Chain A
């Protein structure tokens, strides 16, 4: 099983040219999943671009990879081709687009806003066939309404028990997978975020109409509250996201889950193709 190729194939089958890898928390194998997709894209001969929304993310890049970094984070060696400057600023200087000429370790620096993320993904798509983003859940709105796809990473590092980790990723996937609103059906449009208090009030009122938010990131519910509310309310969005797969990391410095059982439980609860990048397996 070559997990990176499987993930890449899923994205391409969905018609996605950009892939966001987001996690349920820190150290849940996000970078490992991204690395696997990147290696696969390179193996498939695709021109590839990489961006990270996390601060100071160093990554080994192959030649001819487009990437985003800050002016002051660009290494003097190995020299990279500078493609363009952005208007976006970061604490380490103005962001710019570059392309590696030789392999090496490069620091990726991301934009500070969702609109900035949208801008860089669009621009990187001009240079590359596959854009892979080490994402963050709160910035994933940049993908809403686009042809981008999302891979959700879950891991032992973000929860005390396996069940807790499974519930967490299931809630996140449910939230991100909210379907597009039906324009012909009755609806209540929520301006801004759908909060727990609003959800409780709507449930108490026995609301049957569509509850429409701008995009899934506007659903400010998490964990069991999200699963419960999204199960009983017809929450819909104007700009949907596409979650195509999940990955699991059963190891963490503090605890370890049984890998096969964890992957299977995540697959069952999310309904997504689920991969263990560390074991090189797909949940049966």
Chain B
């Protein structure tokens, strides 16, 4: 999948685009080629995006995991016959490995059709071209996993091979007779190999006829057998027979290649159908594995979902024995998101972006329901963008330049996630910058969410305000100082629910509680609380 203008590299990284690509990657070379060309649906093609996701979901529901895995196993083992089809269509004569690839291609299509066609999804991939080629190549033998240019392909080939076998046998016999005669005269059991040693001391007389000295050493002779007249005549007959077989084999290959060339369009169509099926099944398997649902895709810029998950993080949490708390969000303009540290603000933004990416590529979303529009640019600004060490710019300056680039982009339908932008300047100026940013985004009709710890932004900017509920109560400090234990305790105490709030609620002091949870000593924490109360 290619993000094109939808995402820049850093935003793609934060929003898990590569993870998504891997999760919906096809398994065959046919699917991989199509997949590499996939681009996001653009605003205006909402019905196509929605239809695609519904098709994926319907395929997932209808075929079931086992059948999809079965088809994908066949696809994974398929050789890539595209090159052979292309070469034959240009008039090349194919070689035997290419015929084996084509034979397996035809056989795999038959198996896939057998697995898929019982369902209503099953439009058979095999066409007349596939059937004709399959039949033509079946002459190679019963084992569809192998290929041999068998005698049965051509009567002349069979005749030529029979003659060659006879001539080769005569040649072997003639050479065998000469070798046995020489061995007997030399008083040994056999002469093995093309060169052999004769000890001078054991030589009863002159060397036998047909034995040539290659090199002489003080105690022995290195010898070779020379062909006699009978063998030379047999050799000439064998070579002539071999030439006839070579010509017959070339003729059969040319005939088979012509069949491929004549059927190239149909074979290409079958390869294209395989590619489409592979990509569809990969998406369907993703949908099954992560219990996804197709979103409705309206024409307006909206991002609303129920019980959505940011799958890259959900997977990590699962490995750690924890659970991702699904999120509900309804966003149709710009909004401010506040909440405590480690309360999931960034993850909320990532979840929004991930869901938007799924919809943009016609995939069901990891939520129980969603209503998501199409955007022509999805941007991430602030925390989480790839860190750049060194250089002449401060982190604040870099963020400003990134903002400038986002605002300069011609993106009528912008979806933006801003995570603690301007956090490195004074709160007073940071607040002012965020208010100005929200005003600009609203002016552009952008959809987005701005996460911040700064209070009073939403009311001044006149936007909606969402907040993470935060700690239900103070988490108990775990017995061990290990981080996973602290994180587990925090997860137990944290309410990650996002709800819309009215006005600007007072910021919570959860950060101080978190320092205690993460192992800072009691005196330090108490000092912080005292300072907070002043």
Chain A interface residues toward B at CB < 8 A: 1-4, 32, 35-36, 39, 71, 74, 76-85, 96, 101-103, 250-251, 256, 258-260, 276-280
Contact = CB atoms under 8 A, between A and B. Distances in A.
Contact of A84 (B146, B188, B191, B199): B146
A78 B195 CA distance: 26
23 contacts: A2-B190, A35-B192, A35-B193, A36-B192, A76-B96, A76-B246, A76-B250, A77-B245, A77-B246, A78-B249, A80-B148, A81-B148, A85-B79, A85-B97, A102-B165, A251-B222, A260-B199, A276-B197, A277-B192, A277-B193, A279-B197, A280-B188, A280-B191
Nearest to A101: B148
A42 B189 CA distance: 17
A280 B145 contact: no
A2 B197 contact: no
Given A82-B96, A278-B196, A280-B190, 15 more contacts: A36-B193, A39-B192, A78-B245, A81-B141, A81-B146, A82-B146, A85-B79, A101-B148, A102-B161, A102-B164, A251-B197, A251-B217, A256-B215, A278-B193, A279-B220
Interface string B114-154: 00000000000000000000000000010001111100000
B197 A259 contact: yes
Contacts of A77: 242, 245-246, 249-250
B95 interface: yes
A94 to B, nearest CB: 8
Contacts of A74: 95-97
B97 A71 contact: yes
Interface residues of B, number: 37
B195 A278 contact: yes
Contact of A79 (B199, B218, B222, B249): B249
A259 B220 contact: yes
Given A102-B168, A251-B217, A280-B189, A81 B147 contact: yes
B88 to A, nearest CB: 16
Given A80-B96, A82-B97, A84-B146, A256 B217 contact: yes
A82 B147 contact: yes
B100 interface: yes
A242 B165 CA distance: 39
A261 to B, nearest CB: 9
Contacts of A79: 96, 148-149, 249
Nearest to B249: A79
Given A258-B219, A280-B191, A250 B197 contact: yes
B192 A280 contact: yes
Interface in B239-265: 242, 245-246, 249-250, 253
Contacts of A278: 193, 195-197, 222
Contact of B193 (A32, A82, A85): A32
Nearest to B214: A251
Main secondary structure of the interface of A (DSSP, over half): mixed
Contacts of B222: 251, 278
B188 A1 contact: yes
Nearest to A31: B193
Contacts of B168: 102-103
A35 B147 CA distance: 27
B190 A84 contact: no
A8 B217 CA distance: 30
B28 to A, nearest CB: 15
A39 B149 CA distance: 26
A126 to B, nearest CB: 12
Contacts of B215: 251, 256
A84 B197 contact: no
Contacts of A260: 199
A39 B191 CA distance: 12
B66 to A, nearest CB: 26
Contacts of A2: 189-190, 192
Given A77-B242, A77-B249, A1 B219 contact: no
A84 B193 contact: no
The 4 closest A-B pairs by CB, nearest first: A81-B148, A77-B246, A256-B217, A79-B149
A280 B196 contact: yes
Nearest to A93: B97
Contacts of A279: 196-197, 199, 220
A167 to B, nearest CB: 22
A76 B95 contact: yes
A263 B463 CA distance: 96
Contacts of B95: 74, 76
A258 B100 CA distance: 52
B157 to A, nearest CB: 9
Given A81-B148, A85-B79, A279-B197, A259 B219 contact: yes
Contacts of A258: 218-219
Nearest to B140: A81
Contacts of B249: 76-79
A83 B188 contact: no
Interface in B207-230: 215, 217-220, 222
Interface string B166-181: 0010000000000000
Contact of B199 (A36, A251, A259, A277): A259
B96 A83 contact: no
Contacts of B245: 77-78, 102
A276 B245 CA distance: 39
A36 B190 CA distance: 11
A84 B96 CA distance: 12
A239 to B, nearest CB: 31
A3 B161 contact: no
A39 B188 CA distance: 17
Nearest to A257: B217
Contact of A96 (B97, B164, B192, B250): B97
Contacts of B217: 250-251, 256
A275 to B, nearest CB: 10
Nearest to A29: B193
A278 B186 CA distance: 13
Nearest to B169: A103
Contacts of B191: 280
A270 to B, nearest CB: 21
